[in-house]
């Protein structure tokens, strides 16, 4: 007797598990094992083949061997992820209740200090009715534009951060503490040998051609740009893991071409790679300070006020960010010791200065493309509304930076003391906050 469709659905519910295309199942497993893995990489790991990859820039024009577009495949994978999370997690309403009742979430502290750095500082007794969310004259509706099309899979709650901390190994915890407090940073110059460069080139050769079309184009148009000096930057970023460096190098060139177009194949200079608008914004909203922290790490100072999402395009801001990072990476010590990001949000207006799409692009570059070691993220005295969007920010920056994320609150003296414990001098903070 034939089984009815309704009966088949009931059987599937009783026997949950991966169904459908085996390639998509493998891609889903890859993403669950590494949530930071890009969708495209997960699909390729699953066994999908996209012959037009690297030729067409638009995902809607790239098709796999079955004629399905890359855009559709990415959507299918994201939908499968959402379904898997719903099966294995609590409901959004339950999560919301837990956020309101949660205690403070803390991150690891330095062995030489008894202080803990508060990441979430919302009192459990404080409710939305008591919060001073808006100032007089605020456009209330525009405040909530940032939540448009947002789903709960794009937010990270304090309970989830606690779980992430709970599964860390001792090695992981040590690395986090070292990055936060500048422990173990070496002043010894890391040289790059000809043998290491040869291994790097061999690792590049192993990467399929369709995945590195932008790099191949750069090698053809301007071979002097793709030189030993540039490769050395990626090797230092990867601590001389040649395969890791090669994979990053390919992603870097793919994103560089997408961001700068044909100008990507020439040095990133003001008169070529950046427009007049970009030149005006070079010092904002992300400046590389001339001073470094006590351990020699470069400081990126973020000030969201000069950025207005109604006026400036997110691509313009991202091009400025790339330009500033490239200038900082001319210093070999910065290549080796890395950066810290400090964002002063005291005077920011969420409705004007926070752009979720722009932040996603920026942290995608930081986490996936640029050869920069971002060691930690520091936020100065966010508003109450800023705390409400903190779960969005925590999702955008990714798991590694979430574990190295510090919010500084309190009086000016308390904030200065807090920064000092991380090796950031009071003079640096005062020179920027009192401008």
Average pLDDT over residues 158-175: 89
Q: Which of 398, 336, 402, 320 is nearest to 371 (CA)?
A: 336
> What does the pLDDT look like over 105-142, one tens digit per residue?
444 555 444 333 333 333 323 333 333 444 444 444 44
For tokens 């037009």, the residue is 52
User: What's the pLDDT at 122?
Assistant: 32
Name the residue with higher pLDDT: 375 or 74.
375
Spatial CB neighbours of 221, under 8 Å, sequence gap ≥ 6 = 265
Q: What CATH architecture does domain 276-434 belong to?
A: 3-Layer(aba) Sandwich (3.40)
Assess whether pLDDT exceeds 80 at residue 93.
no
Q: For the ranges 60-69, 101-110, 235-244, which has the lowest average pLDDT?
A: 101-110
Read off the pLDDT band of 232 (50, 70, 90): very high
User: What's the pLDDT at 326?
Assistant: 96
> What does the pLDDT look like over 351-393, one tens digit per residue?
677 888 889 999 999 999 999 999 999 999 888 777 888 898 9
How many angstroms separate the Cα of 27 from the Cα of each of 2, 24, 207, 244, 425? 33, 5, 19, 20, 46
Query: For the CA atoms of the chain, what is the radius of gyration?
Result: 23
Three-state secondary structure readout of 192-251: CCHHHHHHHHHHHHHCCHHHCHHHHHHHHHCCCCCCHHHHHHHHHHCCCCHHHHHHHHHH
Spatial CB neighbours of 381, under 8 Å, sequence gap ≥ 6 = 345, 346, 408, 409, 410, 415
- In terms of DSSP bridges, do strands 374-380 and 405-408 run parallel, antiparallel, or are they unpaired? parallel
**What's the CA gap between 309 and 352, in Å, rounded?**
6
For tokens 């932040």, the residue is 359
Sign of CA dihedral 263, 269, 272, 275: positive
Read off the pLDDT band of 277 (50, 70, 90): low
Average pLDDT over residues 323-348: 92
pTM of the predicted structure, to 2 decimals: 0.69
Average per-residue pLDDT in the chain?
A: 80
Assess whether pLDDT exceeds 60 at residue 206.
yes
For tokens 């930081």, the residue is 366
Domain ranges of the chain: 22-79, 194-263, 276-434
**What's the CA gap between 25 and 31, in Å, rounded?**
10
- Cross-strand pairs, 376: 340
Length of the chain: 435
**Phi/psi of residue 160, nearest 5 degrees:** -70, -35
DSSP one-letter code for 285: S
């Amino acid at each position: 007797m034939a089984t009815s469709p309704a009966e088949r659905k009931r059987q599937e519910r009783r026997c949950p598990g991966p169904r459908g295309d085996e390639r998509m199942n493998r891609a889903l497993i890859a993403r669950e094992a590494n949530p930071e893995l890009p969708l495209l990489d997960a699909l390729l790991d699953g066994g999908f083949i996209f012959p037009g990859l690297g030729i067409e820039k638009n995902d809607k024009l790239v098709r796999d061997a079955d004629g399905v577009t890359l855009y559709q495949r990415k959507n299918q994978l994201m939908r499968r992820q959402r379904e898997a999370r719903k099966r294995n997690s609590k409901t959004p309403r339950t999560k919301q209740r837990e956020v309101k009742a949660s205690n403070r979430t803390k991150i690891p502290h330095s062995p030489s200090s008894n202080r803990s750095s508060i990441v979430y500082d919302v009192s459990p007794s404080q409710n939305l009715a008591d919060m001073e969310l808006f100032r007089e004259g605020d456009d209330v509706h525009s405040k909530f534009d940032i939540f448009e099309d947002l789903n709960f899979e794009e937010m990270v709650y304090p309970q989830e951060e606690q779980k992430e901390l709970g599964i860390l190994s001792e090695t992981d915890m040590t690395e986090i503490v070292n990055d936060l407090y500048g422990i173990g940073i070496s002043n010894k110059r890391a040289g790059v040998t000809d043998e290491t460069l040869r291994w790097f080139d061999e690792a590049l050769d192993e990467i399929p051609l369709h995945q590195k079309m932008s790099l191949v184009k750069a090698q053809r148009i301007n071979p002097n740009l793709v030189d030993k000096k540039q490769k050395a930057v990626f090797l230092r970023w990867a601590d001389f893991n040649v395969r890791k460096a090669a994979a990053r190098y390919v992603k870097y060139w793919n994103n560089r071409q997408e961001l700068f177009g044909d100008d990507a194949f020439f040095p990133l200079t003001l008169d070529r790679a950046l427009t007049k608008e970009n030149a005006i914004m070079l010092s904002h909203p992300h400046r590389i300070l001339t001073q470094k922290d006590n351990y020699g790490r470069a400081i990126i100072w973020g000030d969201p006020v000069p950025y207005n999402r109604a006026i400036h395009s997110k691509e313009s801001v991202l091009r400025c960010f790339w330009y500033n990072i490239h200038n900082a990476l001319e210093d070999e010590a910065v290549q080796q010791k890395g950066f810290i990001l400090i964002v002063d949000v005291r005077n920011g207006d969420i409705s004007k200065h926070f752009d979720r799409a722009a932040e996603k692009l920026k942290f995608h570059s930081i986490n996936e493309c640029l050869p920069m070691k971002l060691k930690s993220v520091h936020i100065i005295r966010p508003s109450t509304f800023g705390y409400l969007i903190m779960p969005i920010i925590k999702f955008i920056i990714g798991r590694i930076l979430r574990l190295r994320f510090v919010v500084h609150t309190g009086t000016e003296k308390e904030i200065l003391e807090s920064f000092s414990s991380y090796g950031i001098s009071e003079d640096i903070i005062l020179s920027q906050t009192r401008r």
